[in-house]
Amino acid sequence: MNLEVDLGIKISNPFILASGILDENGYTIKKILESGAGAAVTKSIGMEERRGYEPPVVYENDPVFINAIGLSNPGIDNFGEEIKIALAAKKPVIGSVFGKTVEEFSLIARKMEQYGASAVELNLSCPHVNGYGMEIGSDPDLVNEIVSEVKSKINIPVYSKLSPNTSDIVEEAKAAEKSDALVLINTVKAMAIDIKAKKPVLSNIYGGMSGKAIKPVGIRYVYEIKRELNKKIIGVGGIENINDAVEYMMAGASAVQIGTVVYKYGKNIFNKMNNDLVNYMIDNNIDNIDELTGVALK
């Protein structure tokens, strides 16, 4: 039985830690990798140290989860040590990158490669910080330019994480076509008001929604993009169990990212997903995990 996935780098199983969850401190990333994740994406890292928003930064109301951390990060110059600590797990660490300009994306991606990152994920889609992420993701020419520039400057795979908060995700995906894989989807822009306090809960007011409730949105985008473009896709959004992961794969994903659910089941969710996948493959006579990718499109 083969659980290995090829995303330009070989990943021992299709379950990857999603960016933004338990991936700021190198020791935590290492622990997640030791808990069964095939690879881990780091927190999005920018040029400068950035504080992010004051709490509340999360709103939890299962199956809905909304966050607005605000791209808090230590700045790329301070992140090398964390990657080094994480790499002791001897599994791929994927550096998530955000920037304001083509040059910033390029410079940070090059540093990620120098630090030993196995691949980079371009955050073209953070929904809660002005001037970053989603605004860039909504400009196809800029996306194309960023992806082309980063691809030309580094020798490790480049993944592009795209936003569902756009009028035409196919256009966005085409603009990022030079990427080695597309990561679908980032969080859905959302907010919550506490009716007793009569105020928005998140200090930033708006945040990005994740959790089980967004899974159908993610499935739709993975399916639609896989049908339109024959690109490798990493599915993400609301995955809580093996059936959710299989659904994403059937929609066209080669691998999946898991994030929010960690607050419900802890880091051991990765070991559980691996065990459940093996059982699923035995029960369904599947030898190779690749066989699942895109079966719903056939």
Partner 1 sequence: MKTSIIYENIKLNDNTNIIKFPCNEKIEPGQFIMAWVPGINEIPLSFSGLNDLKEITIKIYGKASEHIAHLKKGDTVFFRGPYGKPFENTAGKKLLIGAGTGIASLVPLIDKNAYGVLSGKTGNDIVFQDRFEKKSIVTDDGSYGKKGYAVDALKDMDISEFDMIYACGPEIMLKSVMDYMVNINDRAQFSLERPMKCGIGICDSCSINGYQVCTDGPVFSLKQLMGMSEFGSTRLNYSGKRIKI
Contact 46, 125 (CB under 8 A): no
Whichever of 49 and 171 has its CB closer to partner 1, that residue is 49
DSSP string, 30-65: HHHHHTT-SEEEPPPB-SS-B--PPSP-EEEETTEE
Catalog residues that contact partner 1 under the rule CB under 8 A. 21-25, 27-28, 30-32, 43, 49-52, 54-58, 60, 67, 69, 72-75, 78, 81-82, 194, 196-199, 201, 203, 259-260, 262-263, 266
Least distance CB 98 / partner 1 (angstroms): 13
Least distance CB 6 / partner 1 (angstroms): 28
Determine the distance from the C-alpha atom of residue 291 to the mean position of all C-alpha atoms in its chain, rounded to a whole number. 23
Cis peptide leading into residue 63 (ω within 30°): yes
Contact 108, 135 (CB under 8 A): no
Whichever of 52 and 140 has its CB closer to partner 1, that residue is 52
Instruction: Give every CB contact of residue 120 below 8 A, 6+ residues apart in sequence.
Output: 94, 95, 96, 97, 109, 112, 113, 150, 154, 156, 157, 158, 159
Least distance CB 2 / partner 1 (angstroms): 29
126, 150, 251, 269: which one is catalytic? 126
Whichever of 163 and 260 has its CB closer to partner 1, that residue is 260
Whichever of 72 and 166 has its CB closer to partner 1, that residue is 72
Angle between helices 269-283 and 242-251 (to 10 degrees): 60
Is residue 58 annotated as a catalytic residue, yes or no?
no
Q: Angle at Cα 213 formed by Cα 182 and Cα 271, nearest 5°?
A: 65
Q: Report the catalytic residues.
A: 126
